[in-house]
A and B are shown apart, each in its own frame.
Chain A
């Protein structure tokens, strides 16, 4: 239905096309289940990710994990990844509801800075601390496969949950989805990481974040925007 039909007489309020649209929408009305609060939905997603982590924990090398967690920058990188996953998910759910503060976008900034900063320290580890266990090409490939295979399902899960809401800035929400999924994948990778350097992971996380945004853009912004 086009607004042009009533344009000659319309002042934005009185228009036959508005009346027809209102009648069509009201006539088509079905009861809807009110969405739970964004914070509650974000917590549900975080709990699901935590559950995946618990299921995978028996396969982790816990002794090596304890040793790695004794190193401050690796510990802070892991903490930053967890906090980034949680805050980015919270921000994504908040931005998917009209009328919520846009400042939620800033929530993952500090945790992401901690995650990226501490991970960036891994780049220098080979030079700063001689004898560090650096990954070879095969291990890098394994990490990439792990991150992709974990971030993609996490991203899809988030997108499916967010589509039930109405993200008014779909590209921004998609970026937060990518950030949260990538950070969650990075946090889950920590117990299985066979080496100390994390710079390669950082690059791969960048690819994962970019992938979700590009996929959303390729879908014409409709992946999250849905049908208007």
Chain B
């Protein structure tokens, strides 16, 4: 609990911060942040304060919210894409160990950035110590990166959302066939037992569902099914 005088600029004593220019650290950092960033910082700061009190759910949310922030900071630091996961996990472990050092009167993101930068540097140093032999500079320059491409996560999330919407729009029988047979990778017997439909009907429904999905999600109009084919076989069996 801070013994601070809120009106006007003043020195305040906080057992966690010592003598501080009241709110100065947070104000200085907030001035440099965009409004979205400030909201994110405040959200993370309050979640960490709750986690210090033992709130496991707030802590889980905090760590999940931190994942993209840490990954972005690690990439900015120059960590190779295939090493970002390791840095993220190192940072999560360090956050867990250092959580008592976080002072909720101060902004959260600089605290997180300091940990991430340090762990990224540690990781790059360890990687740098491993012997690497490169005989062909051109091969080195043109080597394909084994890690995911930037923005791949966003794209895959978008694709998953569009596919989920298209599947949800299918008639009931076709949707069940896609969900159980294609997405759930269940056998025809299992699916027949679960849905109460015959195996033949399931096969027909799956075929029609795939055709409908191809029509809905096809990359250009030329690949879409012609109108006369669309007329037949669109309903459930």
Q: How many residues of A contact B (CB 8 A)?
A: 45
In the complex with contacts A22-B64, A26-B59, A165-B98, A7-B110 CB distance below 8 A: no
Does B168 touch A at the CB level, under 8 Å?
Answer: no
Does B152 touch A at the CB level, under 8 Å?
Answer: yes
Does A36 touch B at the CB level, under 8 Å?
Answer: yes
Does A136 touch B at the CB level, under 8 Å?
Answer: no
Identify which of B56, B93, B147, B157 contacts A29 (C-beta below 8 A). Answer: B56
The residues of A that contact B71 with a CB separation of less than 8 Å are 11-13
Q: Shortest distance in angstroms between A30's beta carbon and chain B's nearest beta carbon?
A: 6
Does B142 touch A at the CB level, under 8 Å?
Answer: no
Does B225 touch A at the CB level, under 8 Å?
Answer: no
Q: Shortest distance in angstroms between B132's beta carbon and chain A's nearest beta carbon?
A: 19
- Per DSSP, chain A at the interface is loop
The residues of B that contact A3 with a CB separation of less than 8 Å are 85-86, 88-89
Chain B, Cβ-Cβ closest to A38: B18
The residues of A that contact B99 with a CB separation of less than 8 Å are 32
- Per DSSP, chain B at the interface is helix
Chain B, Cβ-Cβ closest to A10: B85
In the complex with contacts A99-B114, A228-B90, A33-B100 CB distance below 8 A: yes
Q: Shortest distance in angstroms between B49's beta carbon and chain A's nearest beta carbon?
A: 9
Does B94 touch A at the CB level, under 8 Å?
Answer: yes
Query: B-contacting residues of A (Cβ < 8 Å)?
Result: 1, 3-4, 6-7, 9-15, 17-18, 21-23, 25-27, 29-40, 96-100, 164-166, 168-169, 226-228
15 more A-B contacts (CB under 8 A) besides A15-B85, A21-B93, A26-B63? Answer: A3-B89, A6-B85, A7-B82, A7-B147, A10-B148, A11-B71, A13-B67, A26-B60, A33-B100, A36-B18, A98-B115, A99-B106, A99-B111, A165-B98, A166-B94
